[in-house]
Structure 1
Amino acid sequence: MASSSPIIFFLCFILCFSLSSQIILLPLTHSISKTQFNTTHHLLKSISTRSSTRFHHQHHSHNHNKNQIYLPLSPGSDYTLSFNLGSNPSQLITLYMDTGSDLVWFPCSPFECILCEGKPQTTKPANITKAHSVSCQSPACSASHSTMSSSDLCAISRCPLDFIETSDCSSFSCPPFYYAYGDGSFVANLYRHTLSLSSLHLHNFTFGCAHTALAEPTGVAGFGRGILSLPAQLATLSPSLGNRFSYCLVSHSFDGDRVRRPSPLILGHYESTGESVEFVYTSMLSNPKHPYFYCVGLAGISVGKRTVPAPDNLKRVDGKGNGGMVVDSGTTFTMLPDSFYNSVVTEFDNRVGRVHKRASEIEAKTGIGPCYYLNGLSQIPVLKLHFVGNNSDVVLPRKNYFYEFMDGGDGVRKKGKVGCMMLMNGGDETELDGGPGATLGNYQQQGFEVVYDLEKQRVGFAKRQCALLWDSLNGDKN
């Protein structure tokens, strides 16, 4: 086992660092652009399918072997962040930032990916040596194997019985573990190395190194509520940096020019200068089955002046892990259970459908809806999310739930404007057993600073101009 003196030295360094610089500011880059798709229909269909796949995979983990961990991630989670691994020479690693999973992992050399043709690979496989492997006795090893005991893991690693009995297996590595996704999987080993975020260096950072993967060429920076997540590991060294993080997603609406602006990811707490910002907070709910989720309660959604109450299971999480709404950076579109979704759509269509004709063929092509042909000025009702708690209402800007684009001009139909509601049907409630009742996607989070306050166990939302927030925070640091 490593001696404790370097850790104590580093802890002092981190604390000293955090006093002089309260936050770590990192740019999030949007990974989706129109250049990857030949039509807007194709783009929307791809994203709606991926949002649905990810949501439904959140409910199937209870069917699997307890020694395997099944993450609720479907590849291509929209926003990426970069950091450096090691010191000489350092390797730039670019991963999807994901609040719905709790492990940092990436491909390592040699790396073989089966059925990965045409899938984006954001980072080159890293070079890691055995010297950085994690012991089978480590709590991190147990966490990566779904809390298997270290004795079992050391036995799997062929540590002799007398060594296991005397807790002397530190030289035996943590055995490989298996993760499965909605449409991909990988096998990885645990390693420790220096991870550099901006000017901060995290020694002994634990991560997964995958040498083989199925349909999953890109790694993930897990920001969920688990001991292996990036914020959790940061919090053990510097609580002020790790116990609170926020991001502010630049409104993109799939516009290539907007996508190029960085979205700020802020680790730690900062005092807002200039504009006064009011956060709306709602409490985090604990989920015994999926402890890494950021679950909150949703009480209802207003369409115009009419409030559609949410079913009871969206307001709380039961003992089996059912219910609640997951706030998720890795799902694009918000997913709602079938009956609730239909009630919201009926209310929306009662107002919009009176003025605009339904575009059902667009709905079939994109996987989202309802869609309408827009002629002249479009009167679209305001959507408001009512979270559980006092004064926990969030009014969505129109562009966060109604996407307008040009359709036609292809010789079949003349060119015209179409608009679609950007919430999705998550399916029948009876099929959502064993997981969240709904997901708040990142498309609905655009233009808000979303704060995850782990100390006070709450999630907050504040309307912001995210590009300006990046400029002001980046200016403060320079």
Structure 2
Amino acid sequence: MASPLFLCILLVVFGSYLSTISAAGDVTPRPDRAGAAAPLVHRHGPCAKSPSTDKPSSFAEALHRSRVRADYIMSRALRGRDTTTTIEVVTLGLGTPAVEQVLLMDTGSDLSWVQCAPCNSTDCYPQKDPLFDPRKSSTYAPIPCGSDLCKSLQSDHFDNGCSMNGNGTQSQCGYRVEYGGGLKTRGVYSNEALTMAPGVVIKDFHFGCAYKQIGSDDKSDGLLGLGGAPESLPVQTSAVYGGSFSYCLPPVSSGTGFLALGAPSNTSGFSFTPMTPFMDYATFYLVKLTGISVGGKQLRIPPKVFEGGLIVDCGNIISHLPSTPYAELQSAFRAAMAAYPLIPSDEYDTCYNFTGYSNITVPKVALTFTGGVTVDLDVPNGVLLDGCLAFTESGLDDYVGFLGNVQMRTLEMLYDVRGGRLGFRAGAC
């Protein structure tokens, strides 16, 4: 049996992704891919450098978190705030010299942040790594209050007024983000060098240097926002990478995935479906589901019930479907799994007791999107979570749903924002 160390060896060949970057507008791309890549792992898996203590204790808790996030995203479309329940982490370098930061990765968030020194245990939650200390970086600079960058926070409701630096000589731009799970973060909006991989440095990366945290204690160093608003990493680097990025979420039990900026020059291995913003709200990416199959058999679902679309949300654990497609999926899946006993529960309805079974056969589940793009979910990693069907009901037919991160496992998800399309590549990690 392979050791955990062997399983955590990076599965991406960096030479296929890297560019030499000296500034946001100064780049010499490799001919095969104009981008940069960093390793990505599951925060509760064996490859995590600092495994989170915030792991859901049961499928019921994971389902609860997923529903809270989904509800909050819908309310955010009306109120303008951020939300996160992400479970994937990426390791990057911040500052000069670069200091390793383990960040939660989220396509449902825009403004990135890390906890910064000096910050005591009352104001910041404890993390495994030392706090990032901007005083030790030669490239750190707070963003001045009154600058265009600071003013841009107002339109996205991330602004938090201004504050003087420790010497009382400069007015600094304040930021704040409030999340659906109760976490609140505040601090100074700042510029810094971000290292994606050795020799791959993005200068003038805008992020929040956090000095005040309220809420969650997940031991990560901060968050990396991959949404579509101006504060996100893909939009900040769009002059170089065209706003495109991709990632592959590995199975929980083994392996390492990746996060890559830019699109490959050859996309022949991908299947693409149209992608649009959700309700003209730039953060979220929306695609249209048109069908579902179980065990190779297409389910009989009226196309009109999919009209609300799915928000592609790597920060949401479980996929949410409108009532009719969810009921059809549940019924077909239960029929295919009739050999295994269901666990009776009022909280969730399709969980199994596999005790005593040495071989478990899980039916293949496939999702079909606009354009006839059919994506086979990884079995069982993309179908089951803790022995439960990793789907839930989002609401009435035509109501917007969510494509969660369980269904994304082992797929490379390519966000071609300028091209208005989402790509899927099977077996990428």
Establish whether residue 59 from structure 1 lines up as the match of residue 59 from structure 2. Answer: no
Establish whether residue 106 from structure 1 lines up as the match of residue 98 from structure 2. Answer: no
Distance 2:154 2:129 in 1: 25
Distance 1:203 1:104 in 2: 15
The superposition leaves residues 190-216 of structure 1 with CA deviations (integer Å, 9 ceiling, x where unpaired) of: 111222221222222110122111123
User: The residue matched to 1:371 in structure 2 has which SS?
Assistant: coil
The superposition leaves residues 310-335 of structure 1 with CA deviations (integer Å, 9 ceiling, x where unpaired) of: 674643xxxxxxx3211122222212
Asked if structure 2 preserves the Cα contact closer than 8 Å seen for 1:195 and 1:205, the reply is yes
Partner of residue 312, structure 2: 327
Asked if structure 2 preserves the Cα contact closer than 8 Å seen for 1:223 and 1:231, the reply is yes
Unaligned runs of 5+ in 1: 1-7, 160-169, 316-322, 406-418, 467-478
Distance 2:63 2:215 in 1: 19
Partner of residue 141, structure 2: 132
Structure with more of its chain in helix, by fraction = 1
Asked if structure 1 preserves the Cα contact closer than 8 Å seen for 2:271 and 2:424, the reply is yes
Give how far 1:96 is off.
0.7
Among 434, 438, 442, which residue is 2:405 paired with? 442
Distance 1:404 1:82 in 2: 25
Opposite residue 284 of structure 1, the aligned amino acid is M
Opposite residue 278 of structure 2, the aligned amino acid is N
Opposite residue 375 of structure 2, the aligned amino acid is V
The superposition leaves residues 12-54 of structure 1 with CA deviations (integer Å, 9 ceiling, x where unpaired) of: 6x3235569733121002111489799x993434433322222
Q: Is the alpha carbon distance of 1:327 and 1:310 closer, same or farther for their aligned partners in structure 2, counting shifts above 3 Å?
A: farther
* Identity of matched residues, %: 24
Partner of residue 231, structure 1: 234
Give how far 1:123 is off.
4.2
Partner of residue 331, structure 2: 346
Asked if structure 1 preserves the Cα contact closer than 8 Å seen for 2:334 and 2:350, the reply is no
Partner of residue 258, structure 2: 264
Asked if structure 1 preserves the Cα contact closer than 8 Å seen for 2:84 and 2:181, the reply is yes
Unaligned runs of 5+ in 2: 1-20
Opposite residue 115 of structure 2, the aligned amino acid is P
Structure 2 length as normaliser, TM-score?
0.78
Opposite residue 373 of structure 2, the aligned amino acid is S
Asked if structure 2 preserves the Cα contact closer than 8 Å seen for 1:113 and 1:215, the reply is no
Alignment of 1:409-420 (within 5 A): 419-420=387-388
How many equivalent residue pairs?
392
Establish whether residue 47 from structure 1 lines up as the match of residue 54 from structure 2. Answer: no
Partner of residue 192, structure 1: 191
Distance 1:370 1:158 in 2: 51
Partner of residue 366, structure 2: 384
User: The residue matched to 1:121 in structure 2 has which SS?
Assistant: coil
Distance 2:360 2:192 in 1: 55
Structure with more of its chain in strand, by fraction = 2
The superposition leaves residues 101-131 of structure 1 with CA deviations (integer Å, 9 ceiling, x where unpaired) of: 11111111233566987xx835432223597
Q: Is the alpha carbon distance of 1:30 and 1:401 closer, same or farther for their aligned partners in structure 2, counting shifts above 3 Å?
A: closer
Asked if structure 2 preserves the Cα contact closer than 8 Å seen for 1:115 and 1:215, the reply is no
Distance 2:318 2:78 in 1: 26
Larger radius of gyration: 1
Establish whether residue 10 from structure 1 lines up as the match of residue 9 from structure 2. Answer: no
User: The residue matched to 1:82 in structure 2 has which SS?
Assistant: strand
Opposite residue 172 of structure 2, the aligned amino acid is S
